[in-house]
Structure formats: structure tokens, C-alpha cells
Structure 1
């Protein structure tokens, strides 16, 4: 109650935000230091055998995939569609038919419900003769009991994969009853982690797990140029209003740059998921903010790092070093280092229509070639074959 009351005051909110930022960075640095002193564990023969079974499974409609999602809008903005092109997909839904694991129930009740529901769905599908070869989840120990995945693997022979998009700040999670509840506690119970933080690959392997770098991606059929529509937005931004996001948008507007901002807290309100592709396509510049939580200089990849370039519009975002391995920065996307640099870059590019168009066209080509969800899943299967020891 005291914490909520204090948040009513700007100064208290600012102090709270800075404390959270310092805690996130400090925990990350401790994690990096911890794993720098450890060696990677070798991949076991048992793991290779399980991976070979999956790699040799028929593809197309004969590959049965069970997907455990979390955010319906995000899951259905390209990833689920790519999964459905890869195989026969069934998904986790709660008893009332609603999507994913974000049950509004209290912590422990939600975890128990999700665990029981997942095991029940597997049993129901098996009774119909449908047993998946592959389970793909995007989950944490706070949402499903980790040992549940071992039980499913032992009972049904399913190969278990977890997607971890937030490892820089959610790898450990919180400690509840002496146990971590992030992605870390899942390691003994799953076969493979797909992490969007390249350095985290080593963390999992040093804990005896197997992991691959798996940045987000996009769908070229959903996010694409719309040349018949005018570019009516100078700059657009989609995301909750807080912290550095608000400072950047305010600074742009104070400099005379028109910004169409959507999401909780902005005057534009939340935008329907199906309207985001049109917004991006009709924007001269799509603005990205690459920071984690309340931090100003701690970055992670975002879904819009791929959806915006795929739309064929000019993308301007934080100079996150991860992006330099995914795009030709300056040619395919543009980046900024601070609020003032963002304002300067946006104003400069808005005065140069040719440059904006060239960046957007180059971004679309690169995204289609390297950053589609279909490409990610194809690369995943190829990597599994390599790791499992299957030759040619």
C-alpha cells in the first residue's frame, strides 16, 4: 500500500524507476561474472538420441507440434503462422478457451492450474491418437511447474523446447519459497532453450542444458510495404508510455517532429494488433526504443526490431550492439545513442525522403532474406540435425 501511494508522486516514481534499473543491471553483471568462471558441459548421448528422433520425423502435416503461448497478440503476429506452415499445430488454451498461460489467478493457483491443464491437454490429445513430437513453449518457472516438462517428456517422448526472449533480465526470475522462477529452473526439464540473448547460450550450456541463439523475427505476409497508401505518419511508436520512451517522444515533439504514439498511457490509446502493420507501412519512420524496463542504457532485442524493417519503412532505434550482427546499421536501419541523437537523426532523415526510402527498401530485403519466422524455424531444424550428429 505504501509503495502504491508513493508512486503517485513524480519524484517517488523516478526514484523507484532508477532503483529498478540499477537492480536489473547489477543482477545481469553478477550473472555474467558467475558464468565466466564456469566451463560448458558436453552434450550427452541421450540428448543426441532424442534430437535425432525429432530430426528424422516427417515434416509437413506429419510433424505434430504442441505450442504453449503467453501473449496472444504477439504469438499470432507471425510466429504461430510459421509454426502452422511447418507442421500440425495444437495450442495451449485454458479451460474457458482463453489463450495462453496468463491466467489472472494468484501466483501459486495460476501455476498449478497451468500445470494441470497442460498435462490434461496432452492426455486428451493422446486419447485421440495425437501425440506431438515437438513441444514449443514460451514460459517461465512462475507460470508452469518445471518438472511438468520432464513428466511429459518421459510419458510421451516429446522433445521440449522453450523460447526465452527476456534472459538478460528474467533468466533467474524471482525467488519464491527458496526457488528461482525464471527460465533458469526449467533447464533440467527441457531439451533445448532458444534465447534471444547470445551470451545466454553459454549460461544454459554451463548448467548442462543445450541452447541456441534465436532472435525474434517477422512475417513478410503480415508486415509488408503498402505502396497504395500514403505515408501519413512522420514518426510512429507503439508501446506502453513510461520512462525513457516518454522522454524520447516528448523530445521529438518539442523539436517539431510529429509522433503518432499508441499504447497504454498515450493519447492514441492501445492499437489493435491487426492495425499495427498498416501503421508501420504508413510511417515515414518507425521509432524503436531498445531499453530493458526502466533502464536507459541496458538493451535487448524487441519484436519491432524485425516487424518494422519487414514493413519496408525506415526504422530508427537505440544503438543496441545486437543489431549490428543482424543488419547493416546505417544502410538497412538507423540507430541513435541518446535522446538528443534520436531527435537529430529523425529531423535529418525526415528532410531526406530519398534516404528514408532507400533505408526502408534495404530493410525489407534484409528482413525477407534473413529475419522471417520461416527462416528461423528452418535454421532451428538444421541446427538440431547438426547438434544431434546426423550427417548430411
Structure 2
């Protein structure tokens, strides 16, 4: 399958000032190659640039006009080399007229999106123009079914280098490790686990000398009103109600002691810690205005694919659909509460035979069923029937 690829590629030396994105093209390009497929790119289009501009702004409109016209022109000149247009586009980046034109040229269009339940209350109208939406979150499927939008439920697109897949008996590093950015839900969970005696080491953005509380910025009454209206448009009145509840019933933060926090790792350290820790921890809860902090929203993250691929002994937070990805007794382990986290992590720390079993079985399942080549072949069957 020959793929025209739009997966947040950029054209700048320094990344755009938006959340981390460059890893996506690295994963998908290598996964396409491993699948025995090929990709081409529109040379002059900076797809990630479209994330920089505000929705409805003149700068975003200008980016859309430039980028989509260049894409149409490129497809017309290279149509014989394209079987499918595979994209990772946010709603504000999508030009439905351009996608419709591409489809009329006989090229199916598939869009990946990975923050459906965190960002949307309903499926964005612009997603309806695609032949297929690649949806990784099990929890979002009901939303797509209700909307009648054609989708395929596939894992997050994750790829690890072949040399990192060779499982051997590792020299383990003691304790439980978590690598991830700081937020109040993670801090509270990890603080409670440490308080209960779990030997945890924590690394990632925001943990060293940075508060999770947002800075207070004074503003005019008019600006506050504008912010309130914008919030309701994005989150709805139910989101506003939940925001009020969260402010009235603030989550009691249990701070993580400094001796459990370590500097953020570079790439090699990240891989080494993930692979060699006696237990590698995943956290799937996210702070949103869809749920109160006492009953947080959870969904499977990229880490749930990456860590098992690296042969980690992986313990992650339960969420809907995790049992479809793994046998949660023999391939990974899951926890639902802080007490269960401590109990299961302690059991793994004391049982090398079980750790080795999870490492081997989890890696085999992830590489066989959840790798990008497997996902692309499933997309090909859905689109082309073969």
C-alpha cells in the first residue's frame, strides 16, 4: 500500500510551540516501512504548523489555503503513486472541501485521532468527511457509534527499534518506576502509594521544583466573562458544573517526597529504566472537566503499547478496553485503586518468575497484535477488502 502521509510533520529546525508531536512521524514512518509499505509526503507543507494558530483566525485560514492547495496540486501530479491518504489532523486543520476533492480522485482518506474522549463531547463534524477514523480509545467507540461515523478501533501507533525488542534476562533495577509529566491526579496517586510504603522512583516534566497549581493571573471582569463563554462552548454547561464542584471540593494533594523524584531521563535512560525496572508503572487517569477528580476519566495511553513492546514488567491503571489489548493476568497487570496498586506492585517485586512471565508474554502480544504493521493491514482490508 502506497501512502500519502500527513502525520504532524514540520519544516522547522526547532519544534513549534505546541505539545510534543515529532515522535508521531518517527513511529508511523518506521511502522510503514516495517509493514513493507511505502509513503510519500507533500514537500512544501508543514502540517504541525496548523496546530499553532487559533481556530477561526486569519493565520489559520491562510495556513489552510496554502497547505491544502499544495496538497491537491501534489496529488494531481502524483496520483498514480498514491493508494491512500493517511492523516493525523485536528478538527481545526481539516478542510472538508479538499478532503472531498481527494476522495473524488479515488483516494480513500483515513484520519487518526487519539484524544477523542478527553477533547470531544461529540464526534467533530469535520471527521464525517473521512472514509475511516482510526480510534484508539475503547471508551470513544460509543460516541462514534451514536454519530454513525465509520471508524476502526486500533491501538495507538507505536514503534520501537528492532534492537530493543530482543528479550534477554535483564539485570533489573530495584523498585517501581514511573516516567511521565506531573499533574495533580498523578501526584495524589503516587503520593498515596509512597505513603503506604511503595518504593517508587518518579521522573518527568514538572516534578522537580514546579507546582501543579496554575499561576493566578488577574484580569478584567469583561475578560473573565469572555473566558467563561469560551469555556462553555468547549466543555458545555455540564463541564462548567463539574469545574464548580472541583473548585468547591479540591482534591487533597499528598505531595511526593523529594527523595522519590529524579531528573527527567534522556532517550537512552528512558529506554533503560522502562526495560530494567523491576516494575514499570502506567497511569491512565487524566484531569478533565468531564469527571470530578474523585472519579477521574481514564483511557489507555501510548505507554500501554510502548512499555510491553520494550519487555517491561508492566503494571498499569485499569480502563475500559484494556482487557481487549492484553490478558491482564499473564501479559500485563492492572490496578484500580491505590491499595491495589501497592498490593500488586509489591507482589511483583517479590516474584521474579511472574515478572519474567509478564515481560515475555506482554512483549509478544504487543509486537504481534498491536504494532503499526498489523494496524495498517487491518485498515487496508477495511478500505480495499483485501
**TM score, norm. by length of structure 1:** 0.70
Q: 1:66 is paired with a residue of what secondary structure?
A: strand
The Cα offsets for residues 16-55 of structure 1, whole Å up to 9 and x where unpaired, read as xxxxxxxxxxxxxxxxxxxxxxxxxxxxxxxxxxxxxxxx
**TM score, norm. by length of structure 2:** 0.71
Q: Aligned residue for 1:169?
A: 118
Could you tell me how far apart the structure 1 residues matched to 2:196 and 2:373 are? 40
The Cα offsets for residues 183-203 of structure 1, whole Å up to 9 and x where unpaired, read as 522233211111123464454
Name the Cα RMSD after superposition: 3.0
Q: Aligned residue for 1:150?
A: 100
Picking from 199, 207, 219, the partner of 1:258 is: 199
- Summarize the Cα distance change of 1:333–1:64 in structure 2 as closer, same or farther, 3 Å threshold: closer
Picking from 267, 281, 285, the partner of 2:275 is: 281
The worse-fitting range, judged by mean Cα deviation, of 369-378 and 137-146 is: 137-146
Offset at residue 220 of structure 1 (A)? 5.0
Contact 1:69-1:138 at 8 Å conserved across structures: yes
- Summarize the Cα distance change of 1:110–1:160 in structure 2 as closer, same or farther, 3 Å threshold: farther
Q: Aligned residue for 1:122?
A: 71
Map 1:1-392 onto structure 2 (within 5 A): 59=1, 63-69=2-8, 71-76=20-25, 78-85=27-34, 86-91=36-41, 100-101=48-49, 103-107=51-55, 108-109=57-58, 111-123=60-72, 125-126=74-75, 129=78, 132-154=82-104, 156-172=105-121, 183-198=123-138, 200-201=140-141, 203-204=143-144, 206-221=146-161, 224=165, 227=168, 230-232=171-173, 234-267=175-208, 268-273=262-267, 275-294=269-288, 295=293, 296-386=295-385
Q: 1:142 is paired with a residue of what secondary structure?
A: helix
- Summarize the Cα distance change of 1:229–1:94 in structure 2 as closer, same or farther, 3 Å threshold: farther
Unaligned runs of 5+ in 2: 10-19, 209-261
Q: 1:321 is paired with a residue of what secondary structure?
A: coil
Q: 1:129 is paired with a residue of what secondary structure?
A: helix
Could you tell me how far apart the structure 2 residues matched to 1:185 and 1:93 are? 28
Q: 1:356 is paired with a residue of what secondary structure?
A: helix
Offset at residue 226 of structure 1 (A)? 6.1
Contact 1:78-1:218 at 8 Å conserved across structures: yes
- Summarize the Cα distance change of 1:383–1:191 in structure 2 as closer, same or farther, 3 Å threshold: closer
The worse-fitting range, judged by mean Cα deviation, of 361-370 and 288-297 is: 288-297
- Summarize the Cα distance change of 1:377–1:352 in structure 2 as closer, same or farther, 3 Å threshold: same
- Summarize the Cα distance change of 1:249–1:201 in structure 2 as closer, same or farther, 3 Å threshold: closer
Could you tell me how far apart the structure 2 residues matched to 1:189 and 1:144 are? 9
Offset at residue 332 of structure 1 (A)? 0.8
Could you tell me how far apart the structure 2 residues matched to 1:369 and 1:219 are? 12
Could you tell me how far apart the structure 2 residues matched to 1:303 and 1:369 are? 16
Could you tell me how far apart the structure 1 residues matched to 2:94 and 2:27 are? 24
Offset at residue 166 of structure 1 (A)? 2.0
Contact 2:87-2:112 at 8 Å conserved across structures: yes
